[in-house]
Amino acid sequence: MNQTTAFNSVQTIINIRGELVDLSYPLVMGILNITPDSFYDGGRYETEKSVIERCEKILQEGGKIIDIGAYSSRPGADDVPENEEWERVESALKIIRSRFPDVWLSLDTFRSGIVQRAVEEYGVDIINDIYGGNADSHMFETIGRLKVPYILMHMQGTPMTMQNNPEYMDVVADISLFFSEKVNELQSFGTNDIILDPGFGFGKTVEHNYELLKRLQEFGLHKLPLCVGVSRKSMIYKVLGVTPEESLNGTSALNTIALINGANILRVHDVKEAVEIVKLVNHL
């Protein structure tokens, strides 16, 4: 199967809260980090006012999904106990659900206990797992029982170790094998709404990241939608010799390439710019 055929056969319909959502027109997911130490926006959203303002901004600028993260995954990040992660998550969910009851919420977590509480108590719509099920043996069973879409991300190692000389035989082929195995396991638990994320920056060198971006269409062989998160990451600012704060232009450039190569969801800090990119690329 050639790349074009694989890309054209991707299943882009997912079920979010009983609504069939077509990702053939890509969606923008706005990042809400409620951590003190994230690499770009750590500590910015720790009050009720700041959380509400961030959510309003995401929605006003055209974001369709808010992705909440309470556990920093920057390289070298410290571990956060589960009870502390849940306290952060619940605090944000209470605020958001009271103010924006119908917004689609994605939760960035690798712990099945937090997944269960967030979905059952606060109606979280999507689970975004940076470990791809590897950190919690109950994750896939929990996702299958709760019937929520699952973003399956690839990471080599852990946030503490992932940038310690990552190596691959072939970065795209190796990640595809990981996806095949994990998708089969997820489906065995009854999960069909699966979104793949190659995990840019998670256990990859700068060269690995650009190889992934260049060959992104090859993941079409899995016939599942793709989520791409390159926003203000080191693959941009290391090449340009700038800081994360100066990496918006580079982010827009790489998001454009990702869309052309088949991305269905862009996970970003800067929603307005990403929404504009989606509109422009859609006109191609």
Q: Which sign, positive or negative, has the C-alpha torsion 91, 94, 100, 106? A: positive
CATH entry 3.20.20.20 includes domain 28-282: yes
The predicted structure's pLDDT at residue 6: 45
Q: pLDDT per residue over 111-148, tens digit each?
A: 999 999 999 999 999 999 999 999 999 999 999 999 99
Backbone angles phi, psi at 282, to 5 degrees: -60, -25
Task: List active site positions.
Answer: 233, 267
Torsion of CA 69, 268, 58, 15, to 10 degrees: -80
Cα 195 to Cα 105: distance, rounded to the nearest angstrom: 15
Q: pLDDT per residue over 194-209, tens digit each?
A: 999 999 999 999 999 9
> Residue ranges per domain, the chain?
28-282
pLDDT grade for 71, boundaries at 50, 70 and 90: confident
- On whether the CB atoms of residues 246 and 237 are closer than 8 A, the answer is yes
Cα 131 to Cα 150: distance, rounded to the nearest angstrom: 12
Q: pLDDT per residue over 151-162, tens digit each?
A: 999 998 767 666
The whole-model pTM stands at 0.92
- Residue 15 has a CB neighbour count (10 Å cut-off) of 14
